[in-house]
Amino acid sequence: MRKDDPCISVCQFDGMTGWCLGCGRTVPEIRAWRKMTPYRRTALARELPRRIGQMASAGQRLSRSEEA
């Protein structure tokens, strides 16, 4: 893992969004990360917490509906 790379080595992907469950990026975003401009990397890095939160809340809703 690199200092400026959001990867946390949990490379599993959400089937609905295509986002990595660990870092929130898509496969194309992961592949392009090193070639992205610093501006684009920063913009994407700011977006990732929202994606992770969205997946977490969707997972909670799913687990609640399975309990019912």
Q: Which amino acid is at 3?
A: K
Residue that has been written with the tokens 């997972």 in this structure: 59
The predicted-structure confidence for 35-49, as pLDDT tens digits, reads as follows 999 999 999 999 999
Question: 5, 24 in Cβ contact below 8 A?
Answer: no
| Mean pLDDT, rounded, for 18-46 | 97
| Confidence check: pLDDT of 68 > 60 | no
